[in-house]
Chain A
Amino acid sequence: MDAGITLMDVRAFVPELTLICAGLMVMLLDLVVKKKGILAAVGIAGTLASMYATYKLFGFIAPQNAFFGMFVLDGYSNFFKLIFYLNIILTMCISVKYLEIEKASFGEYYALLMFATSGMMIMASAADLIILYLGLELMALSTYILAGLMRKQPRSNEAALKYFFLGAFSSGFLLYGISLTYGMTGSTNLAEIAQAIHMTNIAGNPIMYLGLIFILVAFGFKIALAPFHMWAPDVYEGAPTSVTAFMSVGPKAAGFAVMGRVLFDAFGAMQVQWTTVLIPLALLTIAVGSITALSQTNIKRMLAYSSVAHAGYMLLGIITGTVDGLTSTVNYLMIYTFMNIGAFSIVIMLRREGFQGENIEDYMGLSKSHPLASALMLVFMFSLTGIPPTAGFMGKFYVIMETINAGYTYLAVIAVIFSAISAFFYLRIVVYMYMKDPKDEVVLSNSPSMTIALAVTGVMVLVLGIFPSFLLNLVRSSILG
């Protein structure tokens, strides 16, 4: 056994440590602070501190053996951490008022958001399947609790239970896959697995294939790929809306982070095998997500199916198996973060005391009374559909372009067809807002932090749509560097 763990190793872990400590601090402050909005501010400050640590460590070449080669700090993980930071800050901004209305405002909520995010960060940096699994469990356990936060509501209980059971089930798949892989390669380290596959030439071995499939099934659950998406609509509908916004982005991004790393770094030699598995999954996901969303009347369910469809589009970038494809997927994820949280912010604004505001019909004539909010919703819906000049168009454009470059023209054609179908249910909201008369008066519950979140998401969706190359170059240089 070589030298033990040094301060250099711990240095690579500082962002996660900062976030966990800030989470603990929020828990302690919860005892003395009566106004829970302050806890959100503390949480955001902690996240910013963690973000600063990541920024300072940017370009810091973590020793290749940080924690005995289990933990890497590279551009890829740093960029994903940026997505997680944005996700949690925006979620905290839109939560404050909403939780007061739901009468579920307590400090543990913010602490759990931070623990879940640190789990995602650990996943993004994991270079060992054991760390990956533990990060995934930390993220998942926190989100199960968040989904069931409103203990008095049956549908929140249902959401938490469903998410928990299926999550535990998928963890079983992951562990089975890891153990089969370990049995064949003698290691849980991603680089060593790749080396063992290369040395012993077992890429075509059926047991390796089986292990790979099990691991992919587990990741499929986390990013809600069809046919492993069954939990998504119920959980997204039942969970508190702010939590839905959080978990429609965070766990999905973390799932893609580990999927990209495991497939490219460990199973790079088995690309033929994993594309064979992923292509039908991607097609099914896009089809199921787009078609089932058509018949939804609850906007949270509709956005759940829409997020399933988006996972399918993002998967196309990974299927290409090239660095450019991976770049387009990560780029899409960043854009998706802004447009999806933006859409959920509007959904949250409609919720007020004694009014759920989750039916699509509640949006009737919104433009008459609230032109600005309707305009923002219009931008988010256009972006989710993929209509220029919004960011969503650029995200889809790059993914589909890379798919064609990699020679999967038929995949690109099918993706575009379903993208057109999906326009129906996104634009239906726009039609309701602008072309119908209001049923009864809608009052929006606004707050300063909500305004900030909406401004950031709205501006980013437009700016990234008009100047897309900035983000794409940032992603590319992070992944390559």
Chain B
Amino acid sequence: MSLQQMFFMYFAIAMTGLSLLIVTRKNPVHSVLMMLLLFVHIAGLYLFLNAEFMAAIQIIVYAGAIMVLFLFVIMLLNLRSEETVAKYQKQWPVSVGIGVVLAASLVIILSKITVIPQLGEYSIEAIQAEGSLMTVGKVLYTQYLLPFEIASIILLVAIIGAVVLAKKRIQ
């Protein structure tokens, strides 16, 4: 096993473990902190893909901004009472069973790759020649301009939604 594979194994196992911890913690603040760790690990995975810019964004946006929002909301809601209520519904063993079956089939299918997948336009060499940030910027403002602009309308709708659902005066 090469050094790279060992690092990848670490990230993979740590992320699976962290995900399990997130859904099993009793205290929601603990869950959020586990999620913070998970996001940092995801950023590590992006580094494996030579996507330094994505890794940085992952840390700044998710681990930084979004996690703070999560913590704010949890503290505002004052979830103490939630801790005493049963965490899972009655059917959880069934759900776990189905989940395990699905995961197993996923593993079996993924281990049966017999063809070499088609590679996209942006290979590691192509990105390294220009730099990660430059490539993302160029693509975003040329080829992916339309999706980029549609995303701006989605954000506008989100703002309108926040105002309508939270602030609008209704008799």
Contact = CB atoms under 8 A, between A and B. Distances in A.
Given A185-B118, A196-B118, A134 B143 contact: no
B146 A183 contact: no
A131 B147 contact: yes
B115 A205 contact: yes
B163 A108 contact: yes
B164 to A, nearest CB: 5
A190 interface: no
A57 B11 CA distance: 52
A111 B142 contact: no
Given A141-B158, A186-B120, A13 B146 contact: yes
A210 B150 contact: no
B143 A68 contact: yes
A71 B161 contact: no
B168 interface: yes
Interface in B19-67: none
Bin chain A's interface residue count: 35 or more
Contact of B157 (A104, A115, A151, A186): A115
A138 B157 contact: yes
A152 B170 contact: yes
Nearest to A130: B147
Nearest to B113: A207
Nearest to B144: A130
A111 B118 contact: no
Interface string B131-171: 00000001000111111001101101110110111001011
B90 interface: no
The secondary-structure label for the interface of chain A is helix
A250 interface: no
B106 interface: yes
B165 A151 contact: yes
A209 B114 CA distance: 14
B118 A184 contact: yes
A31 to B, nearest CB: 13
Given A68-B143, A103-B171, A111-B160, A122 B118 contact: no
B150 A131 contact: yes
Nearest to B145: A5
Contacts of B160: 27, 108, 111-112, 115, 145
A276 interface: no
A317 interface: no
Interface in A90-113: 103-104, 106, 108, 111-112
Interface residues of B, number: 34
B13 interface: no
A134 B154 contact: yes
Interface string A103-142: 1101010011001001000100000101100110110011
Given A103-B170, A196-B118, A67 B146 contact: yes
A21 to B, nearest CB: 11
Contacts of B113: 207
A437 to B, nearest CB: 36
A295 interface: no
A57 B30 CA distance: 56
B1 interface: no
A70 B106 CA distance: 30
Contacts of B153: 20, 115, 118, 138
Given A118-B153, A186-B118, A187-B120, 18 more contacts: A1-B143, A5-B145, A104-B170, A106-B164, A108-B160, A108-B163, A108-B168, A111-B160, A112-B160, A130-B144, A134-B154, A135-B150, A138-B150, A145-B161, A148-B165, A151-B170, A184-B118, A185-B117
25 contacts: A5-B145, A5-B146, A70-B147, A71-B146, A104-B170, A106-B168, A108-B163, A112-B160, A112-B164, A115-B156, A115-B160, A122-B150, A134-B147, A138-B157, A141-B158, A145-B157, A145-B165, A151-B165, A182-B120, A184-B117, A185-B117, A186-B119, A186-B121, A200-B115, A205-B114
